[in-house]
């Protein structure tokens, strides 16, 4: 499968796109104003231990304190998906974290004021601080090295049992001081390559430990490479026929990096000098804009709607303009099949994680439901982040999860609407007018014995609606309360904002 990597650098951001057969398959975007902290290692100080949550707040020198669950203090590992080495289960904060005889409570492990060596597993999101772990993971080209445990694991994406046995035997022969998990890229790697990875990462772990012991206060000890180098480390393989870079400084840095780490791929690094923007080679800006939309049209005429909420993501599938050719069941099946592929694609491009609920169009045949589940499961296997698909309900609902460590594309590129305050809607003008009428009618006794009109200060749109569509209602209200009501436009008012005052004669 022919693939290319495009690296676009500007003064405010770096974008890296992974192209498979001419289509955008993966996108990483990092802005200078909001660099990722995932993978960075800090000397931290415990601020507060929370027995009720089995968690602790830890000051690492960032704007907000990070949080550390008891589960992330005790050794554990997950070789299911080491293409995203710092990925955290979206459900991990909801599992049973109570103390057991073989699992001590957090108050037995940490105390306030204690210094700890921690790594950022998940960037700060919204009002939440960074998710921290004491189980350090240092990713290399072929392996992930874990200096705090003694364990050998192999990515489950390496399915050939003979290759798994070979890799395990090689690691046992090398006998590293820490734990090792073979990444998917490690399939077919020679013993010398694996040994070089282990030795380099073990030296890095020792340097981090020395820096921790030397440092007095809180602060950073180790930082992951720049975004373009991280992506090449994780994605550059024999399928990649070209790495196109439109910035000379990054080009030189990448050539040096690849020459040291993957010398066979050095000839694939290309400095892009054409006047046409690099991302226009595959209309990627158009594809990114499409992935920012709530509604995504399918080629058949159907569409999917993606809504990101605070706790989960909901995706709805609709036939739209597609009427089919044979019968309703075939029309629904074709739409659902097309939607399953597009959903898996959008999850990768948008970097959507956590709990995902997909409302496929209801299908009567069990064989059709199984076909949709099978296709969705097959499509998400292409994802670097592990996704788990659960069985479909009788209503056509599919529950799935996808690991995440960084904010989604929409969280990166957008912010909550300042006008609707993130609700996604505002009250109708008629609704605001009705609220004004009710308040006047409810409180008119407070104005009894007083003269002069009541003045309503509000948005121009509400005033226009009242005089155009509710003049009779207004007259009836004035008769009931025995006062005239005047509306005054306030240009700076929100559409839902109003104030009623009594204007003395």
- Residue 16 makes CB contacts below 8 A (sequence gap 6+) with 5, 6, 7, 8, 27, 28, 29, 227, 228, 231
Question: How are beta strands 179-182 and 152-154 bridged, if at all?
Answer: parallel
Residues 195-213: what's their mean pLDDT?
Answer: 94
Whose CA is closest to 354, among 315, 405, 422? Answer: 405
- Which CATH architecture is the domain 43-222 placed in? Beta Barrel (2.40)
How much is the pLDDT for 84? 52
CATH number (3.40.1260.20, 3.40.1360.10, 3.40.50.150, 1.10.1200.10) of 429-502 reads 3.40.1260.20
Looking up tokens 């308040």, which residue turns up? 439
CA–CA dist 317, 343 (Å, integer): 10
High-pLDDT (> 90) share of the chain, %? 58
Residues 339-368: what's their mean pLDDT?
Answer: 92
Q: Is the pLDDT of residue 463 over 60?
A: yes
How much is the pLDDT for 169? 95
How much is the pLDDT for 364? 85
What number of other Cβ atoms are within 10 A of residue 96's Cβ?
Answer: 8
High-pLDDT (> 70) share of the chain, %? 92
Class of domain 3-33+228-282: alpha beta
pLDDT in tens, 218-237: 999 999 899 999 999 888 88
Question: Which of 25-39, 103-117, 336-350, 436-450 is predicted with the least confidence, judged by mean pLDDT?
Answer: 436-450
CA–CA dist 84, 495 (Å, integer): 45
How much is the pLDDT for 271? 96
How much is the pLDDT for 102? 62
CA–CA dist 419, 425 (Å, integer): 9
Whose CA is closest to 380, among 411, 402, 409? Answer: 402
How much is the pLDDT for 97? 45
Question: Which of 200-209, 409-418, 442-451 is predicted with the least confidence, judged by mean pLDDT?
Answer: 442-451
Q: Where are the alpha helices (DSSP H) in 135-262?
A: 161-174, 191-214, 227-235, 248-261
Q: Is the pLDDT of residue 36 over 70?
A: yes
Q: Is the pLDDT of residue 91 over 50?
A: no
Domain with CATH 3.30.420.40 in the chain: 3-33+228-282
How much is the pLDDT for 95? 39
Helices and strands: H and E segment counts in the chain: 12, 24
Q: What share of the chain is helix, strand, coil (3-state, %, to 5)?
A: 35, 25, 40
What number of other Cβ atoms are within 10 A of residue 200's Cβ?
Answer: 15
What number of other Cβ atoms are within 10 A of residue 462's Cβ?
Answer: 26
pLDDT in tens, 49-67: 999 999 999 999 988 999 9
Question: Which of 117-121, 281-285, 492-496 is predicted with the least confidence, judged by mean pLDDT?
Answer: 281-285
Residues 407-424: what's their mean pLDDT?
Answer: 84
Residues 387-406: what's their mean pLDDT?
Answer: 84
Q: Is the pLDDT of residue 96 over 50?
A: no
Residues 331-339: what's their mean pLDDT?
Answer: 92
SS3 82: coil
- φ, ψ at 189 (rounded to 5°): -70, 145
pTM here is: 0.78
Residues 335-344: what's their mean pLDDT?
Answer: 94
Domain with CATH 3.40.1260.20 in the chain: 429-502
Size (the chain), residues: 505
pLDDT in tens, 139-191: 998 999 999 888 899 988 888 999 999 999 999 999 999 999 999 889 999 99
Higher pLDDT, 109 or 124: 109
pLDDT in tens, 232-287: 988 888 889 999 999 999 999 999 999 888 888 889 999 999 999 999 988 999 88
Domain with CATH 2.40.50.140 in the chain: 43-222
Looking at every residue in the chain, the average pLDDT score rounds to 87
How much is the pLDDT for 482? 84
Confidence band, pLDDT 50/70/90 cuts, at residue 322: confident
- φ, ψ at 408 (rounded to 5°): -70, 170
Nearest 5°: the CA angle 448, 453, 456 is 110
């Amino acid at each position: 499968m022919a693939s290319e990597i495009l690296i676009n650098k500007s003064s405010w951001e770096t974008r890296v796109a992974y192209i498979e057969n001419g289509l955008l398959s993966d996108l990483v975007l990092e802005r200078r104003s909001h660099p990722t902290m995932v993978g960075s290692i800090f000397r931290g100080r415990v601020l507060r231990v929370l027995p009720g949550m089995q968690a602790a707040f830890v000051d690492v020198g960032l704007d907000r304190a990070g949080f550390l669950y008891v589960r992330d203090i005790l050794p554990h590992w997950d070789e299911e998906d080491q293409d995203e080495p710092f990925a955290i289960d979206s459900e991990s904060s909801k599992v049973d974290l109570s103390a057991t005889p073989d699992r001590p409570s957090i108050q037995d492990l940490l105390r306030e004021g204690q210094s700890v060596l921690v790594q950022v597993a998940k960037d700060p999101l919204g009002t939440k601080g960074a998710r921290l772990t004491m189980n350090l993971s240092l990713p290399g080209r072929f392996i992930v090295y874990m200096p705090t445990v003694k364990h050998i694991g192999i990515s489950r994406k390496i399915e050939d049992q003979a290759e798994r046995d070979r890799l395990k035997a090689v690691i046992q022969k090398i006998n590293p001081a820490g734990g090792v998990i073979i990444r998917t890229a490690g399939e077919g790697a020679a013993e010398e390559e694996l040994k070089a990875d282990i030795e380099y990462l073990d030296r890095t772990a020792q340097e981090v430990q020395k820096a921790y012991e030397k440092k007095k206060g809180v602060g950073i000890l180790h930082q992951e490479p720049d975004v373009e180098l991280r992506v090449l480390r994780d994605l550059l393989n024999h399928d990649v026929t070209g790495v196109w870079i439109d910035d000379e400084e990054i080009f030189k840095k990448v050539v040096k990096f690849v020459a040291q780490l993957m010398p066979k791929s050095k000839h694939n690094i290309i400095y892009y000098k054409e006047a046409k923007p690099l991302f226009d080679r595959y209309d990627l800006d158009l594809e990114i804009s499409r992935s920012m939309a709530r509604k995504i049209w399918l080629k058949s005429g159907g569409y999917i709607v993606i809504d990101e909420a605070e706790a989960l993501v909901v995706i709805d599938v609709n036939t739209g303009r597609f009427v089919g050719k044979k019968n309703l069941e075939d029309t629904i099946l074709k739409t659902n099949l097309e939607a399953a592929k597009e959903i898996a694609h959008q999850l990768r491009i948008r970097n959507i994680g956590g709990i995902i609920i997909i409302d496929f169009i209801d299908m009567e045949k069990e064989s059709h439901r199984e076909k949709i589940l099978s296709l969705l499961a097959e499509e998400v296997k292409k994802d670097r982040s592990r996704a788990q698909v659960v069985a479909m309900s009788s209503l056509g609902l599919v529950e799935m999860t996808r690991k995440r460590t960084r904010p989604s594309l929409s969280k990166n590129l957008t912010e909550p609407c300042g006008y609707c305050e993130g609700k996604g809607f505002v009250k109708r003008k008629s609704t605001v007018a009705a609220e004004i009428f009710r308040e006047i009618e409810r409180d008119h006794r407070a104005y009894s014995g007083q003269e002069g009109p009541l003045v309503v200060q509000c948005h121009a749109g509400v005033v226009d609606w009242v005089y155009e569509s509710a003049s009779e209602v207004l007259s009836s209200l004035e008769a009931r309360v025995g006062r005239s009501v005047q509306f005054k436009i306030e240009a700076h008012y929100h559409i839902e904002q109003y104030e009623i005052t009594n204007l003395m004669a």
